[in-house]
Structure 1
Amino acid sequence: MEIFLEAKSTFYKALEEIINKAYEKRTISKKEIYEILTKYNCNFPVLEDRVFAKNTQYQKNIYVLKQQDDKSYGLRIDSKIEPYVTNTEVMWLKFMMSSRYAELFLDIETIEKIRKLKSSNIPSINTNLIVPKNYSKILKRENAKDISAKMKMVIKGIIENKILRYTYKTRQGDTLKDVTGIPVKIQYSLKDDMFYVIFYSLERGNFAKCIIQNLENLRYDEGSYNRDDVLKEYDNYLKNSKAKQPIVLEVINTRNALERAFCMFSSFEKSARFLKEKNRHEMRIYYYEFEEAEIISRILYLGRNVVVVNPQHIRDRIISRVKNALEMYSKSEIV
């Protein structure tokens, strides 16, 4: 059936979870089914009808569930679905191995397992169509192996709230020696093909964004700080820096806008749901106030396929940026 094509495997994943949950509990409620469909953005009427066997065209229904009462369902077969790797997943795993960053996040044993996966009759992905080419002209792209140790130290620092001491060279060429901070998160820039680290600066009591390849002499260091006091101060600052309300976007899924939106905001905490009445997806982005300029820049990149619903001050800043751009182009007589 069409819905089981690997290219549409999102719905398959939703159905797999529904079946396995029903098998484990011997029953599943209608509410739980809706929640799973929503989780995978499959809460479309046509898909819901197929799951609940309500489609008027018999052949389009999926008869895996049988109704037990008004609120619960059971399985028609006494079996669960075992996980497996699809051809599409093999294709993407193989493609991942072409990335210079594979060794940063996967150990050698995992990489070897992926390379040994059978890939007969599976087309390869043309990297020239996907890999970004507009790399930064200011910074030289560092070999992934050279930043591997730094990345692992930063990740451990984030997980364990460790204090790091480092030397940093800014874009302007200034060198900051023996700076101390607690790493908060790692961000990846698709535009520059680079990793950034956001630190909580112990000297300044605010956040600083650093290019990971420009970090030198990186080491764990408690220094003369009282760790308990530092972590308390850090937690308070982080809590107070959290935006009071999320940015709410409505994404019109044309020209792959939804996929681009998830890609652009992959480093942010977010939630999404499908708005049936508008035939749009709603995305809520939770962020820190110091990230506001970065988020606005990414929203503008998505163009007219995204509408900012809330908060009002973000809408105002977007409108102001667009008006300034139009005015600038008008003065330049660019059509």
Structure 2
Amino acid sequence: MNPFEKIFNYQIISRLDESDAIALTSQERAWLRSALAHGASSDAFTAETLAKLKQLLQDEADIDHSRMLVEKAKSAERQVYHPLLRTLRRLIMQGKGMLLTSRIKHGGTKNNQSGLPFKLEYSMVKREWYLLWYSARGRSLMSTKLQSIVSIEETSLPAERAEAWRSRMSALLEARRERTVIEVIRTYNAELSRILYAFSCFDKSVQYDEETNLYRIHLSYLADESEFLLSRIRFLGLRVKLVEGDGLRRRMRESAEKALERYGMTEHRDKEG
């Protein structure tokens, strides 16, 4: 690799931003060429875009993963990219309505449900894509697995009605949203990037106090994501501490007490207390 292929110069980067251009290294181009060989690429891109990308990358070398990676035994792979993602993103961006037909959990289908697609979410726990949408009939916020969707038909909506429904959905989502504050233990300040990566799927902001040399991470999450958030906090162990959020702190205390009880430490703890 030419070490000067990507130059991080302010003037160059600013010019690239102004022209909506991106500087790519040879490794990044080779990786993209290899990624396009995956079967999911035909669902991720239109035929024209896929053909253009392959043409632009035809002179790039392939990445030989066989000598770099060893894959261990695993469970059956579930497709992360869903064919409906591109269609739904377009409907959401254009403010279009839809007629949705979906499978019911215990059999059968619900046909031609009228509504407005609002947001796509990926559950890290269930490893499933979900569509959040507004039901015109029920006047409520709905969540449907993309795997359960049989068909989607685009419909037109007056701009005023679409905007009113989006405002209502935003209010409903905000009502379900909870917040917490996580403090990084000073000893592990150097691992801040790793800690932030563990919370990468949540809305967050970081506050730094120069006097105490403390980082505090303000997290926003939906109520049904609390258990996954707790698993991330437990994964980080001694590096972080919950300082706000009574519900999360209570669940952490309960799991700690159960762990102590399982290993017969409750009597020892009572004597120390």
TM bin, normalised by shorter chain, reads 0.5 to 0.7
Alignment partner of 2:143 out of 187, 209, 216: 209
Q: What does 1:1-335 correspond to in 2, within 5 Å?
A: 16=8, 18-20=10-12, 84-106=23-45, 107-113=49-55, 115-116=57-58, 118-119=60-61, 124=65, 126=69, 128=71, 133-134=74-75, 148=83, 150-173=84-107, 175-189=109-123, 194-222=128-156, 228-229=160-161, 231-239=163-171, 241-242=173-174, 246-250=179-183, 253=191, 257-262=195-200, 265=201, 268-272=202-206, 283-287=217-221, 291-301=222-232, 303-305=234-236, 307=240, 309=242, 311-316=244-249, 318-319=251-252, 322-323=255-256, 326=259
Letter paired with 2:170: L
Instruction: Map Cα deviations across residues 208-254 of structure 1 (whole Å, 9 max, x no partner).
Output: 222212211311235xx876345314313413532677444456639
* CA distance 1:238–1:255, change in 2 (3 Å): closer
* Contact map agreement 1:197 1:209 (CA 8 A) in 2: yes
Structure 1 equivalent of residue 268 of structure 2: none
Equivalenced residue count is 245
Letter paired with 2:109: T
Task: Please give the alpha-carbon distance, in whole angstroms, between the structure 2 residues aligned to 1:91 and 1:329.
Answer: 51
| TM-score for the superposition, normalised by structure 2 | 0.63
Say which SS state the counterpart of residue 248 (structure 2) adopts.
helix
* Contact map agreement 1:91 1:123 (CA 8 A) in 2: no
Structure 1 segments unaligned to the other structure (5+ residues): 7-11, 25-81
Structure 2 segments unaligned to the other structure (5+ residues): 16-20, 265-273
Q: Residue 195 of structure 1: CA displacement?
A: 2.5
Percent identity over the alignment is: 15
* Contact map agreement 1:270 1:284 (CA 8 A) in 2: yes
- Relative to total residues, which structure has the larger strand share, 1 or 2? 2
Q: Residue 293 of structure 1: CA displacement?
A: 1.4
- Kindly report the root-mean-square deviation, in angstroms, between the aligned alpha carbons of the 2 structures: 4.6
Task: Please give the alpha-carbon distance, in whole angstroms, between the structure 2 residues aligned to 1:103 and 1:324.
Answer: 50
Structure 2 equivalent of residue 54 of structure 1: none
Letter paired with 1:198: L
| TM-score for the superposition, normalised by structure 1 | 0.54
* CA distance 1:285–1:90, change in 2 (3 Å): farther
Task: Please give the alpha-carbon distance, in whole angstroms, between the structure 1 residues aligned to 2:260 and 2:122.
Answer: 32
* Contact map agreement 1:180 1:203 (CA 8 A) in 2: yes
Q: Residue 193 of structure 1: CA displacement?
A: 5.1
Task: Please give the alpha-carbon distance, in whole angstroms, between the structure 2 residues aligned to 1:249 and 1:99.
Answer: 39
Task: Please give the alpha-carbon distance, in whole angstroms, between the structure 2 residues aligned to 1:316 and 1:182.
Answer: 37
Task: Please give the alpha-carbon distance, in whole angstroms, between the structure 1 residues aligned to 2:39 and 2:95.
Answer: 28
